[in-house]
A = this chain, B = another copy of it.
Amino acid sequence: MRALRIDADRLWDSLMQLARIGGTPKGGVCRLTLTDLDRQGRDTFIAWAKQAGLAVRIDGIGNIFARRDGLDVDAAPVVIGSHLDSQPSGGKFDGAYGVMAGLEVVRTLNDAGVKTSAPLEVAAWTNEEGSRFVPTMMGSGVFAGVYALDYALTQRDVDGVSVKTALEAIGYSGAARPHQVGAYFEAHIEQGPVLEATATTIGVVQGALGQRWFDVVITGQDSHAGPTPMETRKDALLAASGLVLEVNRIATTFPDYARGTVGSMQVKPNSRNVVPGEVRMTVDLRNAKDATLSAMVDELKRRAQAIAAQCRVAIELREVVYFPPSEFAPELVESVRAAAKDLGYSHRDIVSGAAHDAVYLARVAPTAMVFVPCEGGISHNEIESARPEHIAAGCNVLLQAVLARAGA
């Protein structure tokens, strides 16, 4: 089995064919979830799955499972998947790669006449992107019991169309119910700069960072920039700037892949010669370990209090999102590492800074991910790009890790 290799050209061709559905002039993809373009993408995937002899079923939130039976009829399936929907200005690889890589694993096994012990399933999860309907990762979230099916079905897009209506309109409201998963693998472009910058082919993903998001309101006092002496000011932007530096200091000094970002800031009255009286800003803290993430939050709160006193302003921090860190299954992570090593690919341990369907699957099954480099670390953009040899390498690693788990 260790000599088995996927067909790199077939995988690339499938990705490029899929990318034509919703393809944009700049070479990207716009295939929003549960639109007719999404239906075309799903139909194409299912047609290919059926050509590969797989049995397809759809669940209540529109997730697609394409099954290849195993020798052990009682074994829970090894699932390989990702998503087929894209951002409004998305690329060819985000999501699509994981689904097509799963299909290519199956095609390769078919060609070689290899039967696994556990069944295999290629999954396409509904609405990972969250561009049309929130929450993001809706399909995997419902599958993992994070969201009730009814809750998800009643979410509406900006035009008032519900998920239920949209699912029915494209014919993807299915009857299957969540089932047991023996293990879950997902291949994905990194969507970050680390692999490319270190000339590494395979990212062995340890897990996904936990996230704690805050809305911050800083209230000082507007005053004229000319007549107001420095020592009597209550400058909300001075306090906000101090907090930005603290977020950065926390993220650069705490361990365990700490990250901290202030992405958004609004200044009032935002006039050149008026000392700002109010600033609204966001804070996004991430860490691979929940305890370290909590310590970062505690430090943020302490520093905010000190800055408030120093700048004579009020600082209110309101937590709006908490998403715990996800640690992938050590034995599956090891199988990914071993596969990369055996295949002679450069590889390194990495964490996923963003969330993926795998993060929800990790709540119900042993899970691992395989990352491959993308150009400039750029995704969610039409210029998103990946090299064919990396796309193939990730799929070969996936094949070996799946075989190790499913038994052959």
Contacts and interface: CB of A to CB of B under 8 A. Distances in A.
B225 A284 contact: yes
A318 to B, nearest CB: 13
A154 interface: no
Interface string A224-248: 1111111110010110111011001
Contact of A265 (B191, B224, B267): B267
Contacts of A193: 223, 227-229, 232
How many monomers of this protein are in the complex?
Answer: 2
A251 B275 CA distance: 13
A241 B245 CA distance: 7
Nearest to A275: B261
Interface string A209-224: 1010100000000011
A235 B262 CA distance: 9
B259 A237 contact: no
Nearest to A251: B230
Nearest to A228: B192
B259 A270 contact: no
A353 B224 CA distance: 9
A377 interface: yes
Given A263-B270, A264-B270, A265-B265, A227 B192 contact: yes
A378 B342 CA distance: 74
Contact of A242 (B226, B245, B272, B354): B245
A282 B272 CA distance: 6
Interface in A158-203: 190-194, 197
A380 B286 CA distance: 44
B264 A377 contact: no
A134 interface: no
Nearest to A350: B227
Residue in A231, A245, A272, A353 whose Cβ sees the most chain B Cβ within 10 Å = A272
Given A237-B244, A272-B213, A190 B227 contact: yes
Contacts of A355: 226
B224 A237 contact: no
A284 B224 CA distance: 11
A377 B263 contact: no
A273 interface: yes
A379 B223 CA distance: 9
A261 B225 contact: yes
A248 B259 contact: no
A276 interface: yes
A51 interface: no
A231 B248 CA distance: 10
A261 B248 CA distance: 23
A346 interface: no
Nearest to A232: B193
A352 interface: yes
Nearest to A245: B241
Given A226-B352, A238-B244, A240-B241, 10 more contacts: A193-B232, A226-B355, A227-B354, A230-B260, A237-B244, A241-B242, A242-B245, A262-B276, A263-B271, A273-B284
Instruction: In the A-B complex, list the 8 residue pairs whose CB atoms are closest, starting with the nearest.
Output: A192-B227, A226-B353, A241-B241, A241-B244, A227-B353, A225-B261, A226-B354, A272-B282
26 contacts: A192-B226, A192-B228, A194-B227, A209-B226, A213-B273, A224-B379, A225-B259, A225-B286, A225-B353, A226-B286, A226-B353, A226-B354, A227-B354, A228-B353, A230-B260, A235-B248, A237-B244, A238-B262, A241-B242, A241-B244, A241-B245, A261-B274, A263-B272, A266-B270, A272-B282, A272-B284
